[in-house]
Amino acid sequence: LPLVVHPHGGPFGPMDSWGYNTDVHVMASHGYAVLQVNFRGSGGFGREHEQAGYKQWGLTMQDDLTDATRWAIAEGIANKDRICIFGASYGGYASLMGVAKEPDLYKCAVGQVGIYDLGRVKSEDSLGDDYARRFFEETMNDGDLGPVSPNRFAEKIKVPVLLSAGHEDETAPVEHTEMMEAALKKAGVPVEALYFKTEGHGIYKLENKREFYARLLTFLQKHIGGRAPVVV
Protein backbone atom coordinates (compact mmCIF):
# COMPACT_ATOMS: atom_id res chain seq x y z
CA LEU A 1 0.00 0.00 0.00
CA PRO A 2 1.02 3.64 -0.25
CA LEU A 3 2.03 4.63 3.28
CA VAL A 4 1.80 7.87 5.22
CA VAL A 5 3.99 8.05 8.33
CA HIS A 6 2.13 10.29 10.78
CA PRO A 7 4.22 11.48 13.76
CA HIS A 8 2.27 13.07 16.59
CA GLY A 9 2.83 16.49 18.13
CA GLY A 10 4.22 17.34 21.51
CA PRO A 11 6.65 15.74 21.39
CA PHE A 12 6.96 15.07 25.12
CA GLY A 13 3.88 13.61 26.79
CA PRO A 14 1.38 13.15 23.96
CA MET A 15 1.04 9.67 22.51
CA ASP A 16 -0.85 7.80 19.82
CA SER A 17 -3.45 5.27 20.92
CA TRP A 18 -6.31 3.30 19.40
CA GLY A 19 -9.32 5.49 18.71
CA TYR A 20 -10.73 7.93 16.22
CA ASN A 21 -8.24 10.35 14.67
CA THR A 22 -9.54 12.56 11.88
CA ASP A 23 -6.23 12.81 10.01
CA VAL A 24 -5.70 9.06 10.13
CA HIS A 25 -9.22 8.11 9.11
CA VAL A 26 -9.35 10.63 6.26
CA MET A 27 -6.17 9.15 4.82
CA ALA A 28 -7.13 5.52 5.46
CA SER A 29 -10.48 6.06 3.76
CA HIS A 30 -8.62 7.15 0.63
CA GLY A 31 -6.49 4.04 0.39
CA TYR A 32 -3.43 4.83 2.49
CA ALA A 33 -1.82 2.75 5.18
CA VAL A 34 -1.07 5.11 8.08
CA LEU A 35 1.77 4.49 10.51
CA GLN A 36 1.68 6.12 13.95
CA VAL A 37 4.80 5.80 16.09
CA ASN A 38 5.24 6.35 19.82
CA PHE A 39 8.85 7.38 19.37
CA ARG A 40 10.99 8.03 22.44
CA GLY A 41 9.70 11.16 24.10
CA SER A 42 6.08 10.03 23.80
CA GLY A 43 3.95 9.72 26.92
CA GLY A 44 2.17 6.63 28.20
CA PHE A 45 5.20 4.36 28.51
CA GLY A 46 6.84 5.66 31.65
CA ARG A 47 9.21 8.46 32.55
CA GLU A 48 12.29 6.70 31.18
CA HIS A 49 10.77 6.41 27.69
CA GLU A 50 9.65 10.03 27.71
CA GLN A 51 12.93 11.44 29.00
CA ALA A 52 14.87 9.33 26.49
CA GLY A 53 13.72 11.89 23.93
CA TYR A 54 15.14 14.90 25.77
CA LYS A 55 17.75 16.74 23.71
CA GLN A 56 17.15 14.31 20.84
CA TRP A 57 15.27 16.56 18.43
CA GLY A 58 16.19 15.42 14.94
CA LEU A 59 18.40 12.66 16.38
CA THR A 60 17.23 9.44 18.04
CA MET A 61 13.59 10.59 18.10
CA GLN A 62 13.87 10.96 14.34
CA ASP A 63 15.65 7.61 14.05
CA ASP A 64 12.65 5.92 15.68
CA LEU A 65 10.44 7.18 12.83
CA THR A 66 12.98 6.05 10.25
CA ASP A 67 13.24 2.59 11.82
CA ALA A 68 9.46 2.24 11.97
CA THR A 69 9.16 3.20 8.29
CA ARG A 70 11.73 0.59 7.32
CA TRP A 71 9.88 -1.96 9.47
CA ALA A 72 6.67 -1.29 7.52
CA ILE A 73 8.55 -1.89 4.27
CA ALA A 74 10.18 -5.09 5.54
CA GLU A 75 6.80 -6.40 6.75
CA GLY A 76 5.29 -5.94 3.30
CA ILE A 77 2.82 -3.33 4.53
CA ALA A 78 4.25 -0.42 2.60
CA ASN A 79 5.40 0.05 -0.98
CA LYS A 80 8.91 1.47 -0.58
CA ASP A 81 8.39 3.74 -3.58
CA ARG A 82 5.14 5.25 -2.26
CA ILE A 83 5.81 6.69 1.20
CA CYS A 84 5.07 10.19 2.50
CA ILE A 85 5.51 11.68 5.97
CA PHE A 86 2.95 14.12 7.42
CA GLY A 87 2.55 15.61 10.87
CA ALA A 88 1.46 18.69 12.78
CA SER A 89 3.30 20.79 15.36
CA TYR A 90 6.31 18.66 16.42
CA GLY A 91 5.05 16.19 13.80
CA GLY A 92 5.48 18.91 11.18
CA TYR A 93 9.05 19.43 12.32
CA ALA A 94 9.68 15.68 12.23
CA SER A 95 8.23 15.43 8.73
CA LEU A 96 10.61 18.03 7.32
CA MET A 97 13.54 16.55 9.26
CA GLY A 98 12.58 13.14 7.89
CA VAL A 99 12.93 14.13 4.26
CA ALA A 100 16.12 16.07 5.01
CA LYS A 101 17.82 13.19 6.85
CA GLU A 102 16.45 10.38 4.68
CA PRO A 103 16.18 11.79 1.13
CA ASP A 104 15.69 8.34 -0.40
CA LEU A 105 13.10 7.00 2.06
CA TYR A 106 10.18 9.38 1.53
CA LYS A 107 8.64 10.69 -1.69
CA CYS A 108 6.99 13.75 -0.14
CA ALA A 109 6.40 15.58 3.13
CA VAL A 110 3.60 17.58 4.71
CA GLY A 111 4.21 19.95 7.61
CA GLN A 112 1.27 21.51 9.42
CA VAL A 113 1.76 24.29 12.04
CA GLY A 114 5.35 23.15 12.43
CA ILE A 115 8.44 24.69 13.96
CA TYR A 116 11.44 24.58 11.67
CA ASP A 117 14.15 26.69 13.33
CA LEU A 118 14.99 25.40 16.81
CA GLY A 119 17.29 28.32 17.60
CA ARG A 120 14.35 30.67 17.09
CA VAL A 121 12.19 28.51 19.36
CA LYS A 122 14.65 28.88 22.22
CA SER A 123 14.87 32.64 21.86
CA GLU A 124 11.48 33.95 20.79
CA ASP A 125 9.19 35.38 23.44
CA SER A 126 6.13 34.55 21.35
CA LEU A 127 6.37 30.90 22.33
CA GLY A 128 5.12 31.55 25.83
CA ASP A 129 5.99 32.26 29.43
CA ASP A 130 9.01 31.45 31.59
CA TYR A 131 7.76 27.89 32.10
CA ALA A 132 7.77 27.28 28.33
CA ARG A 133 11.27 28.68 27.95
CA ARG A 134 12.57 26.56 30.82
CA PHE A 135 10.90 23.51 29.27
CA PHE A 136 12.65 24.05 25.95
CA GLU A 137 15.96 24.66 27.71
CA GLU A 138 15.56 21.29 29.45
CA THR A 139 14.35 19.25 26.50
CA MET A 140 15.86 20.84 23.40
CA ASN A 141 19.33 19.96 22.15
CA ASP A 142 22.39 21.80 23.42
CA GLY A 143 24.93 23.50 21.20
CA ASP A 144 24.46 24.44 17.57
CA LEU A 145 20.84 23.85 16.57
CA GLY A 146 21.42 24.50 12.87
CA PRO A 147 22.01 20.82 11.99
CA VAL A 148 18.60 19.91 13.48
CA SER A 149 16.66 22.87 12.06
CA PRO A 150 15.25 21.90 8.66
CA ASN A 151 14.98 25.45 7.36
CA ARG A 152 18.78 25.73 7.70
CA PHE A 153 19.51 22.91 5.25
CA ALA A 154 16.58 22.89 2.86
CA GLU A 155 18.97 22.03 0.03
CA LYS A 156 19.11 18.46 1.38
CA ILE A 157 15.39 18.02 0.74
CA LYS A 158 14.78 16.50 -2.69
CA VAL A 159 11.04 15.77 -2.62
CA PRO A 160 7.87 17.89 -2.88
CA VAL A 161 6.59 19.55 0.29
CA LEU A 162 3.19 20.86 1.39
CA LEU A 163 3.13 23.36 4.27
CA SER A 164 0.18 24.73 6.24
CA ALA A 165 -0.04 27.29 9.03
CA GLY A 166 -2.37 29.74 10.78
CA HIS A 167 -1.67 33.45 11.17
CA GLU A 168 -3.04 33.42 14.73
CA ASP A 169 -0.75 30.61 15.93
CA GLU A 170 1.02 31.57 19.16
CA THR A 171 2.58 28.15 19.72
CA ALA A 172 4.33 27.74 16.37
CA PRO A 173 4.27 31.25 14.89
CA VAL A 174 3.51 31.49 11.19
CA GLU A 175 7.00 32.90 10.59
CA HIS A 176 8.40 29.37 10.96
CA THR A 177 6.36 28.17 7.99
CA GLU A 178 7.14 31.30 5.98
CA MET A 179 10.87 30.80 6.56
CA MET A 180 10.62 27.12 5.65
CA GLU A 181 8.73 27.94 2.46
CA ALA A 182 11.30 30.58 1.50
CA ALA A 183 14.22 28.23 2.19
CA LEU A 184 12.69 25.46 0.07
CA LYS A 185 12.01 27.84 -2.81
CA LYS A 186 15.57 29.13 -2.65
CA ALA A 187 16.83 25.53 -2.79
CA GLY A 188 14.62 24.78 -5.79
CA VAL A 189 12.43 22.31 -3.90
CA PRO A 190 8.80 22.04 -5.11
CA VAL A 191 6.70 23.50 -2.30
CA GLU A 192 3.04 24.38 -1.80
CA ALA A 193 1.87 26.49 1.14
CA LEU A 194 -1.58 26.98 2.59
CA TYR A 195 -2.15 29.78 5.10
CA PHE A 196 -5.28 30.43 7.15
CA LYS A 197 -5.71 33.98 8.46
CA THR A 198 -8.19 33.04 11.20
CA GLU A 199 -6.64 29.78 12.46
CA GLY A 200 -4.14 29.24 15.25
CA HIS A 201 -2.29 26.08 16.25
CA GLY A 202 -4.46 23.72 14.24
CA ILE A 203 -7.43 23.87 11.88
CA TYR A 204 -10.83 24.14 13.53
CA LYS A 205 -13.27 25.82 11.16
CA LEU A 206 -15.15 23.38 8.95
CA GLU A 207 -14.55 25.27 5.72
CA ASN A 208 -10.82 25.39 6.45
CA LYS A 209 -10.74 21.68 7.28
CA ARG A 210 -12.38 20.93 3.94
CA GLU A 211 -9.81 23.03 2.11
CA PHE A 212 -6.86 21.51 3.93
CA TYR A 213 -7.95 17.89 3.47
CA ALA A 214 -8.71 18.48 -0.20
CA ARG A 215 -5.19 19.89 -0.69
CA LEU A 216 -3.63 17.12 1.40
CA LEU A 217 -5.34 14.29 -0.47
CA THR A 218 -4.64 15.83 -3.86
CA PHE A 219 -0.98 16.23 -2.88
CA LEU A 220 -0.69 12.63 -1.67
CA GLN A 221 -2.46 11.24 -4.72
CA LYS A 222 -0.10 13.13 -7.01
CA HIS A 223 3.07 11.92 -5.33
CA ILE A 224 2.34 8.43 -3.93
CA GLY A 225 -0.97 7.41 -5.48
CA GLY A 226 -4.13 6.59 -3.56
CA ARG A 227 -7.53 8.12 -4.23
CA ALA A 228 -8.01 11.82 -4.85
CA PRO A 229 -10.72 13.66 -2.90
CA VAL A 230 -14.21 14.07 -4.27
CA VAL A 231 -14.99 17.77 -4.11
CA VAL A 232 -18.69 18.44 -3.57
pLDDT tens string 47-106: 999 999 999 999 999 999 999 999 999 999 999 999 999 999 999 999 999 999 999 999
Helix (H, G, I), strand (E, B), or coil: what is residue 5?
strand
* Digit-coded pLDDT (tens) for 2-30: 999 999 999 999 999 999 999 999 999 99
Counting Cα atoms < 13 Å in the Cβ hemisphere of 95 gives: 35
Known catalytic residue at 123: no
**Tens digits of residue pLDDT in 32-42:** 999 999 999 99
SS3 81: coil
Spatial CB neighbours of 20, under 8 Å, sequence gap ≥ 6: none
Q: Which band of pLDDT confidence, cut at 50, 70 and 90, is reported for residue 120?
A: confident
Q: Is the pLDDT of residue 121 over 70?
A: yes
Catalytic residue among 6, 30, 176, 201: 201
Strands of 191-196's sheet, edge to edge? Answer: 33-35, 3-5, 83-88, 108-112, 161-166, 191-196
Q: Which of 38, 44, 88 is nearest to 61 (CA)?
A: 38
Q: What is the DSSP string of 141-153?
A: PPS--GGG-GGG-
Instruction: Identify the pLDDT of residue 126.
Output: 47
Spot the catalytic one: 6, 42, 89, 95.
Answer: 89
Give the list of residues 6+ apart from residue 71 with CB closer than 8 angstroms, or none: none
Instruction: Find out whether 144 and 60 touch, Cβ atoms under 8 Å.
Output: no
Peptide bond connecting 11 to the previous residue in cis, omega within 30 degrees of 0: yes
Does the pLDDT value for residue 127 go beyond 70?
A: no
User: pLDDT per residue over 131-155, tens digit each?
Assistant: 777 888 889 998 889 999 999 999 9
Is residue 25 annotated as part of the catalytic site, yes or no?
A: no
Question: Which residues lie closer than 8 Å to 223 by C-beta, 6 or more apart?
Answer: 84, 107, 108, 159, 160
Q: Is 169 a catalytic residue?
A: yes
Cα–Cα dist 113/127, whole Å: 13
Q: Which pTM does this prediction carry?
A: 0.94
